[in-house]
Amino acid sequence: MGPTPTAMDTCKITLWLCTIATVGCSARQPISEVTVRDRDFAIVRTLTQEGELTPFVRAWEHKEEADPPSKQTWEYKIDIRGGGDGQRWLYDPTGWVAPLTVKRSTCYRIADASTFNAALGIPNKPVDPTPNDGAAHRTR
């Protein structure tokens, strides 16, 4: 049998293991896959190749926290693997995104929704027309 480890040896080993664990946890893995699902959970598109992921990652890294308008239509789900954001996000094609959580959470704005939608394979959402109560079409 070899020598019994001393208290100092145990401390060194513990410190080394903690360092390895901390470095491993803090190192962000790149986004490796993005799956877009519609409101019925059908897959719209899956991004796995670098050329497909690059426009997504570029827009995703520049999303900004913002107060959303009163109504979003969370028509899509975005499932992200890797990148530290590996979870499901809700997406409104006008450029609003929020993590899917039980409680109310922070919303983010994608600056160029049109380019982002193209990367995701989502048609651009038309601007809602001004509400019309039919007054213009009434006759007396």
Give 112 or 134, the one with higher predicted confidence.
Answer: 112
User: Which tokens is 23 given?
Assistant: 């470095």
Per-domain boundaries in the chain: 33-120
What letter does residue 83 receive in the DSSP assignment?
A: T
Over residues 15-42, the pLDDT tens digits come to 444 334 433 444 557 899 999 999 999 9
Over residues 42-95, the pLDDT tens digits come to 999 999 999 999 999 999 999 999 988 888 889 999 999 987 767 899 999 999
- Single-letter code of the amino acid located at 78: I
CB 128 within 8 A of CB 111: no
User: 99 vs 18, 23, 66, 109, 131, CA distance in Å?
Assistant: 30, 26, 13, 12, 30
Confidence grade of residue 137 (pLDDT, cut at 50, 70, 90): very low
